[in-house]
Amino acid sequence: MSDLAVIVPTRGRPANIHNVLRAWDDTDAWTDAQLVLAIDADDINYGDYVKIVEDVDHHNVFTVVHPKWMQMVPKLNRTATMLADQYFALGFAGDDHLPRTTHWARRYVETLRELRHGIVYCDDLYQGPKLPTQWAMTSSIVNALGRMVPAPVDHLYCDNAVLDLGKRTNCIRYLSDVVIEHMHYVVGKAQKDSTYARVNSNQQYRVDGRAYRRWAGSRDGLALDVRRVQRLRGGTSGYTSRVRVHKPTT
């Protein structure tokens, strides 16, 4: 079993997963990571996902099936808590994230081993160091928080929350020489489909924005999560900078 499992929540986009598999092949990721597709049993494309996994000629791809549709972050959190005791680290990527750097997964694992308890992300050729639109974290953090995304959002601002937690605890590292490209429609790398339209709607920004800001400013939100991670790392970070928000593009 690999040290790292990367969770990709996906629905209605089996063609994207073919692209993801090719990118993992091209970057020799399979020796260092497993790919976990978090899918829904009520997805009209459920059978397509099952066939994709059946057709892969190794055992480093598997599915975690949820009974019915749920938003991305709850699906990610539920999958992560199911797997946290089985892996040293867990990663998140969208079904529109394509690795470009050979042995990127090895770099992730090596960096997290150095941190012992921490978070790592890399250049997505759009947000760069400003936001971890994909990331990996040690499973110890998932277990300490009881979830992978700290803030109680449904889709947007999950990357902001991960960055906030990492900076406040001084346990996040950006790998500028590693690329996992975000093939997002806002940068002209994909067509805007119904999923993009829903999760990037004004309503979604309002709902998730409120939830994120409440978490960031609450004693039982970010402050509590910081203390939990600091206990893992054996002390305080001394980081007191104010939270800086960049617009999410997940």
Cβ-based neighbours of 125, under 8 Å, separated by 6 or more: 179, 181, 182
What number of CA atoms fall less than 13 Å from residue 10's CA on the CB side? 30
4-9 and 61-66 beta bridge pairing: unpaired
Eight-class DSSP state of 36: E
pLDDT, one tens digit per residue, over 14-59 is 999 999 999 999 999 999 999 999 999 999 999 999 999 999 987 7
Q: What's the pLDDT band for 242 if we cut at 50, 70, 90? A: very low
How far is 14 from 28, CA to CA, in rounded Å?
Answer: 21
Rounded to two decimals, the pTM is 0.92
DSSP per-residue letters across 15-26: HHHHHHHHHHHH
Mean pLDDT of 110-134: 97
Half-sphere exposure of 242 (CA within 13 A, CB side): 3
b/e code 225-240 from CB counts within 10 Å (16+ = b) = bbebbbebbeeeeeee
| DSSP for residue 136 | E
CA distance 246 to 126: 12
Domains of the chain: residue spans and CATH: 4-233 (3.90.550.10)
Nearest Cα residue to 56 out of 76, 30, 78: 30
Mean pLDDT of 85-103: 98
